[in-house]
Amino acid sequence: MCPPEHFGVLYEINPWMHTEVTVDLDKARAQWDGLVRVLRDAGATVDVMDPHPDLPDLVFTANAGIVNGAQFVPARFRHPQRQGETAYDVEWFSARGYQVDELPVDVRHEGAGDALPFGAGLISGYRFRSDAAAHAHVSRLTGAAVRSIELADERLYHLDLTLCPLDERRAIVAPLGWDRYGRRVMEAVVAEPLVLEDDEALAFVANSVVVGSRVVMPSCPPRVGRQLEAWGFEVAVVPVDEFLKAGGGCRCLTLALDVTL
């Protein structure tokens, strides 16, 4: 994770961002600290990278790249505003002994934000930020099967706003965000889906972090909470609304390092 020292809505690259909205930095820091605390309570180890004054979105580490054991595939960001992050991400992972394997320069892929491990491989979103053409390269570099899902609603511009894998059979899903082919693929892949209503999806409910049996969520409608508890999960809601101003929730603020594809 990366602390929100220099976080802010300084540009608009998704429908949630409005530069006239002011971020309360103290509140953001308190919310971020709260998220770290809840994750640690759940049993996670949190490594922190240094913030950078020119890179307000560096807090959204989910987009840094794809982690596969000791391999790191850095993102290729769509927008120039975020492309500067990659050098710092690569530096961080290199310093920790990761093997860095890069995607070709002519494709875009925004890391774990658009690639979630599920169903014996990766599910990867495309259209708004990542290119479908990147998926074959991701597959070649990681050795994992990559199923492509076309994202259909610009408000849900990354896959991790539409999908939260819970365990091998279950996932929180937001079909609102997928085209009809993507819906059919996900129906085949997710044995037991917890299907979000459209308004729930737009409240970033799927942008949650799962640590063991704890689901750390930016918000949780009672209906969703009941189903998660019925499945044996505990729900921890952490308000991160300062970050929602930039279009990111709990999941976007984290990058899982314990992933082996």
Partner 1 sequence: MAAVDVVEIEGHIIDSLTLAKVMDVILAAGADYRVVDVAIGRTNADVSRARIEITAADEDTLDALLAELKVHGANRTDSGDAQLADVERDGVLPPGFYSTTNLPTSVRIEGRWVDVENPEMDCAVVLRADGRARTYPMHRVRIGDRVVVGQDGVRVAPFERPRGASPFEFMTSEVSSEKPKALLVQDVAARITRAKAEGGKVLAVCGPAVIHTGAGPAVARLVGGGWVDVLFAGNGFAAHDIESNVMGTSLGVSLQGGLAADGGHANHLRVINEVRRYGSIEAAVDAGYVDGGVMFECVKRGVPFVLGGSVRDDGPLPDVYTNVVEAADAMRYLVTGVTVAIMLASTLHAIASGNLLPAGVETYCVDINPAVVTKLADRGSHQALGIVTDVGLFIAELADVLC
Among the residue ranges 97-105, 147-155, 206-214, 239-247, the one whose residues contact partner 1 (CB under 8 A): 147-155
Q: Are 163 and 206 in contact (CB under 8 A)?
A: yes
Calculate ∠ Cα 40-82-164, nearest 5°: 45
Q: Are 154 and 125 in contact (CB under 8 A)?
A: no
Q: Are 125 and 134 in contact (CB under 8 A)?
A: no
Grouping H, G, I as helix, E, B as strand and the rest as coil, residue 51 is coil
252 is catalytic: yes
Residue 62 binds to partner 1 (criterion: CB under 8 A)? no
Binding characters for partner 1, 98-137, by CB under 8 A (x = yes): ----------------------xx----xx---xxx-xx-
Q: Using CB under 8 A, which residues numbered 174 to 193 contact partner 1?
A: 179, 181, 184-185
Strands of 192-195's sheet in order across = 163-165, 170-173, 192-195
Grouping H, G, I as helix, E, B as strand and the rest as coil, residue 135 is helix
Binding characters for partner 1, 65-94, by CB under 8 A (x = yes): ------------------------------
**How deeply is 93 buried, as exposed, middle or buried, from its count of CB atoms within 10 A (0-12, 13-18, 19+)?**
buried
Catalytic residue among 109, 135, 137, 158: 158
Among the residue ranges 58-66, 108-116, 144-152, 239-247, the one whose residues contact partner 1 (CB under 8 A): 144-152
158 is catalytic: yes
Min CB(148)–partner 1 separation in Å: 4
**Rounded-to-integer distance, Cα 64 and Cα 86, Å:** 7
Of residues 38 and 67, the one with the C-beta less far from partner 1: 67
Of residues 139 and 208, the one with the C-beta less far from partner 1: 139
Of residues 130 and 219, the one with the C-beta less far from partner 1: 130
**Rounded-to-integer distance, Cα 97 and Cα 109, Å:** 23
The residues that are catalytic are 158, 252
Q: Which residues bind partner 1 (CB under 8 A)?
A: 120-121, 126-127, 131-133, 135-136, 139-140, 143-150, 179, 181, 184-185
